[in-house]
Amino acid sequence: MVMDFVTLGGNLLGTIPLGDIVLYITPFNLFLFAVLLGFTALIAVSKPETQIEATMHYLHNTEVKVGPKEFKQRRFLSVLCGIASAGAMITGDLFNFTLFMALVGILNIGIVSAVKQTTVLNSAFNYGLIAMMCSLPLFGGAAIILAATGTLSLAVLSQMPASPMVVFGAALMLVGILGESGVAPFFASKAEMFRTAGSPFIVIIHLSSLFIIVRAVEILLLVLW
Amino acid sequence: MRIGVLWNKLAEPKNIPRLFAFSLGILLIIGLIVPMALNPDQLYVRPAPQVQVDEGLAIAPYDRGGEVLKAPGNINPQYPENAAKLGMITGYMSPISEWVSSISPYFGTSIYSSPGGLIDEILYYTRGFDTILESSILMMSFIIASWLSINYTMNRKNDEKEIKADVKKAINESQQVANEVKVSDVKARSKQLRRDN
C-alpha cells in the first residue's frame, strides 16, 4: 500500500500553489495549522509570568522578571516562531519543510537569547551548536532524496518506491529533526533552556518542536512508504 | 558503567553537542556503504559540470537557453501549470552584465552575475518561497545578533552572583597556591639544613 495525503491526513481540501512549492490542506494538516496559529494569537496578546523563588537564609523572595525591552523582543520572536511552525504544518515540499525547521530552530535560540541568566544562555549556546550541526543532516538529507528521486514534491515522492539511497536520506533528515527539536538523547540542552521566566514565550519553543515532530513523522511516512 | 551514570551524563547540556556530533558521524560513516547514484530524471535540469565552460560560453554555468520574452529557457519545473510564463526572462541580463559578458569569458563566475545581473527564475519564481524563507532565516539571525550586541546579555562582569563566586574561587585558589609554596619552602629549607649539618 502507498501512503499518500489521503491515507494519512484525510481528504484533500485544497492546495495553495506557489510555483513549485504547493501547500496542501487536509483535515490533519489544517488542524495542526489552526491550533498553532490560535496559540500564536494567544501569545501575541498575553503577558509573561514572573518567577518568584524563596531566597536561602533570608526572609525575602527573589523575583525573576521580564523587562519591557526583553518582553518585546521575545514576543516578536515567539510570534514569528509560531507562524513558522504553522507554515511547516501545511507545506508540501521537502526542502521547504527543512527551511521552516531551520527557521524554527534559530527562533528558539533567539527567544532564549534575550534572557539574562547565564545558565540558560549556556544551554542555549549548546543548543545552538546542535542547531548548527543539524543543517548538515537536514539539508543533506533533502538533497540526497532529491538526487535519488529527481523531485522534492511530497505528492510525487509519496507515489515513488523507496530505494536504499532514499532511506539513507530520510534517516539523515530524521537525525536532523531529532537534534533540532531536542528529543530523547538530545533533550538536556533544550530542557535547560526552559528554566527561566516568561512562560508563554518559553512554551512556544516546546510546542513548535512537538508539532514539527508530528509533521516530520507524516513526511517521513510519505517519503518512505 | 551503570546506566544511571550514563543518564546523568546525558543531563549535562555541554555533553549533548558532542553526543549529537558523534551519532551524526556514525550515520555518515554508514552512508559510505549505501549505494548512491544520481537519478538522471531531475527537476531544474542543468548541463554536466564544465560542459558550458568547455564550450566557451561567457555566462557558464548559468546558461539555460531561451530568448527574453520570446522563447522560454529549459527549466523543467515540477508543476508547469502553476507558472505558465516560466522561462521567458531567464536569459535576461542587465546592460552592465551584457557588456561585461561581451568582454570577459568569466562573467558567469563573477560577482556581476548575481544578484540581478542574471535572472535565475528557479530561485525567484518556481522556488521563490524558499528564497523568502532563506532570507528570513538570515534576517532572524541578524535580529538576534544585534540584540545580543546592543544588550550584551552574556556580560558576566555585571552579574553580582557571578562576581562573588569568581572572587571566592580566586581567593581559595590563591590561598591554596600560597600554602603549597609554603610547604615546599619548608621542605627545601629542612633539606638544606640537613645538608649543611
**CA dihedral sign, ordered B61, B78, B84, B133:** negative
Q: How far apart are CA A155 and CA B37, in angstroms?
A: 22
- Nearest neighbour of B140 by CB, restricted to A22, A93, A106: A106
Residues of A in contact with B147 (CB under 8 A): 73, 110, 113-114
The closest alpha carbon to A142, from B43, B74, B188, belongs to B43
Q: What pLDDT is attached to residue A219? A: 93
A87 C-beta neighbours (distance < 10 Å), count:
21
Average pLDDT over residues A61-71: 81
Query: What is the tens place of the pLDDT at every residue in B160-188?
Result: 666 666 677 778 888 888 999 999 999 99
Q: What pLDDT is attached to residue B104? A: 84
CA distance A27 to chain B (A): 23
| Stretch among A197-206, B65-74, B124-133, B150-159 having the lowest mean pLDDT | B150-159
Query: What is the tens place of the pLDDT at every residue in A151-185?
Result: 999 989 988 888 999 999 999 999 999 988 888 77
The closest alpha carbon to A198, from A83, A68, A101, A107, belongs to A68
Question: Are the beta carbons of A3 and A221 closer than 8 angstroms?
Answer: yes
Interchain proximity B141–A106, CB inside 8 Å: yes
Question: Are the beta carbons of A157 and A121 closer than 8 angstroms?
Answer: no
ipTM: 0.88
A117 C-beta neighbours (distance < 10 Å), count:
16
CA distance B138 to chain A (A): 9
| Stretch among A41-50, A185-194, B109-118 having the lowest mean pLDDT | B109-118
Say which DSSP state A93 is in. Answer: B
- Is the pLDDT assigned to residue A212 strictly greater than 90? yes
Q: What residue spans of chain A are helical by DSSP H?
A: 5-9, 27-45, 68-90, 94-113, 118-149, 154-157, 164-181, 188-193, 199-224
Residues 23-62 of A with CB under 8 A from B: none
Q: What pLDDT is attached to residue B155? A: 63
Query: What is the tens place of the pLDDT at every residue in B4-58?
Result: 888 888 888 888 899 999 999 999 999 999 999 988 888 888 778 788 888 888 8
When scoring B149, B153, B160, B164 by the number of chain A Cβ atoms within 10 A, the one with the most, hence best to mutate, is B153
Q: How sure is the predictor about A1, in pLDDT bands with cuts at 50, 70 and 90?
A: low
CA distance A28 to chain B (A): 23
Asked if A161 is an interface residue toward chain B (Cβ–Cβ < 8 A), one would say no
Average pLDDT over residues A103-119: 86
Question: Residue B58 carries which side chain, given as an amino acid letter?
Answer: A
Q: What pLDDT is attached to residue B12? A: 83
- Higher-confidence residue of B71 and B158: namely B71
pTM of the model: 0.84
- Is the pLDDT assigned to residue A138 strictly greater than 90? yes
